[in-house]
Amino acid sequence: MTKLKLTYFDGPGRAEAIRLCFVVGGVEFEDERVNKEQWGAMKTAALENEKRNICQMPFLPWLEVDGVVISQSLAILRYAAATAGLDGKAPLEKAKIDMVLSTFQELLEITVKYVLAEESDKEQVLEKAKEVWKKMLTKLESMMKESNGGGKWLIGNDMSAADIVIFSFLKQTDARLSSMVSKSIYDDLDIPCLKGLAERVGQVEKIKEYYDKQAEQSTKS
Amino acid sequence: MTKLKLTYFDGPGRAEAIRLCFVVGGVEFEDERVNKEQWGAMKTAALENEKRNICQMPFLPWLEVDGVVISQSLAILRYAAATAGLDGKAPLEKAKIDMVLSTFQELLEITVKYVLAEESDKEQVLEKAKEVWKKMLTKLESMMKESNGGGKWLIGNDMSAADIVIFSFLKQTDARLSSMVSKSIYDDLDIPCLKGLAERVGQVEKIKEYYDKQAEQSTKS
């Protein structure tokens, strides 16, 4: 069996959708969580080591596949989606799912920019971020409306990685923003179908179990 | 047969690697090239039209697959690579190719930023771009060296979309920079294996024919 180890910081960020694909697909993986210090040491070693694990780019997440490190979060996400059978069937369906994954990447990019922005720039970055979120999420809401009347999944008849990234983005961005600006991103956006979709994904048994287990662990620690 | 129409501006940019995948795979497609005015009208129509072609995001390239528009250049590139049989075989090979495609996307992003920068910012953006190019191309050079001794293809034993994006990036960035700053990007970079790879890709019969035909057309017009 292929041995998988996903390395990322201890938070959702660019890794959560990857973790969720593995969880939903029942694909076993080691969920390694590192702190900034540990990552610093790994990065230095990777930069110095040109000969081994040559696919390493110096940013997380990394996915070790039988000892070979793959980087680039979108490539890892697509590997996870394919391994979990969440990447669609026909070529056009696969392309639509890919399109949503790329869009998710852009949505997340601007969110990360906001989180990392200097205090003095935050307001300006937030305004820009809101514009991007609105434009893209409104398009995705239209896609959702057109797909089986908006009450099922984003692409095709089965849940796919596209649904998982929407769930992951709304969940983490909303949680982060609510704590930062005391306001839900939902408030400014008319996205009832996407919201319903996120709720549906959150109710998937394996995903519920995953978050229940996380909550249990954080209570213990 | 699936009817494909790729729409982009009349230049390489984000579309050339997609075109080349189709060309190498012998996949028939309409190569629609629009000017800024035409794109403006298309964009307005797309933004107003929420009901049809719902996958449209308001940026090029677009790929129409039997009348359905897909956007996001990386999703289209991956569709083209898969259709042309240039996306690798085993899952790990596919993931490595994907990683290179994502890296190409980032390399191109910073190049586009430079091309579009205000005259007063150009110098600063170029310095930043050179850093990014150097970091990523050096990593890719290491990958190339480790792959069959560096004299063949980047991933695995056959030419893939990974080789095509390296070729397309070096060709267009070098041409653009040479005309803008009278200096080849090769000069500052120690990437003999990648350079050799780009030459090899340029010698592929179908790619030679494609550029010969383009040269012929531009002489006529």
Name the more confident of A45 and B128: B128
Domain boundaries, chain A: 4-83, 91-203
How close is the nearest chain A Cα to the Cα of B56, in Å?
A: 8
Residue of B nearest to A99 (CA): B75
Contact B37, B121 (CB under 8 A): no
How close is the nearest chain B Cα to the Cα of A218, in Å?
A: 33
How much of chain A is helix, strand and coil, in % rounded to 5?
Answer: 65, 10, 25
Q: Is residue A195 packed enough to be buried (19+ CB in 10 Å), middle (13-18) or exposed (0-12)? A: middle
Per-residue pLDDT band at B186 (split at 50, 70, 90): low
- The predicted complex's ipTM stands at 0.89
Per-residue pLDDT averaged across A159-174, rounded? 93
The pLDDT value given to residue A203 = 96
Q: How far is CA A92 from CA A57, A96, B17, B62, in A?
A: 30, 6, 19, 13
**Is the confidence at residue B185, as pLDDT, over 80?**
no
- Comparing CA positions, the residue from A42, A15, A43, A44 lying closest to residue A30 is A15
| CATH classification for the domain delimited by B91-203, as one of 1.20.1050.10, 3.40.50.150, 3.40.440.10, 1.10.10.10 | 1.20.1050.10
Residue B4 DSSP SS3: strand
For the record, the structure tokens of B182 come out as 């009278």
Choose among A63, A91, A99: nearest Cβ to B55. A99
The mean predicted confidence, pLDDT, of chain B is 88
Residue A64 DSSP SS3: strand
Per-residue pLDDT averaged across B79-90, rounded? 96
The pLDDT value given to residue B59 = 83
pLDDT tens digit sequence for A184-199: 666 778 899 999 999 9
Dihedral angle of Cα B34, B40, B43, B49, to the nearest 10 degrees: -120
Residue A97 one-letter amino acid: I
**Is the confidence at residue B68, as pLDDT, over 90?**
no
Per-residue pLDDT band at A155 (split at 50, 70, 90): very high
Dihedral angle of Cα B164, B166, B172, B173, to the nearest 10 degrees: 170
- Percent of chain A having pLDDT more than 90? 54
The pLDDT value given to residue B149 = 82
pLDDT tens digit sequence for B96-121: 999 999 999 989 888 888 888 899 99
**Is the confidence at residue B17, as pLDDT, over 80?**
yes
- Percent of chain B having pLDDT more than 70? 90
- Comparing CA positions, the residue from A142, A204, A145 lying closest to residue A171 is A204
* Chain A residues touching residue B59 (CB < 8 angstroms): none
Per-residue pLDDT averaged across A97-110, rounded? 92
Do the Cβ atoms of B70 and A76 come within 8 Å?
no
Cα separation, A145 vs A60, in Å, equals 34
Do the Cβ atoms of B83 and A91 come within 8 Å?
yes
Name the more confident of B164 and B40: B164
Do the Cβ atoms of A76 and B95 come within 8 Å?
yes
Q: At what angle do helices B161-181 and B91-116 cross, to 10 degrees?
A: 20
Per-residue pLDDT averaged across B193-219, rounded? 93
Interface test with A, best of B3, B98, B110 (most A CBs within 10 A): B98
Per-residue pLDDT averaged across A119-137, rounded? 87
Q: Is residue A197 packed enough to be buried (19+ CB in 10 Å), middle (13-18) or exposed (0-12)? A: buried
Per-residue pLDDT averaged across A89-117, rounded? 91
Quote the DSSP letter at residue A10: S
Domain at B4-83, CATH homologous superfamily: Glutaredoxin (3.40.30.10)
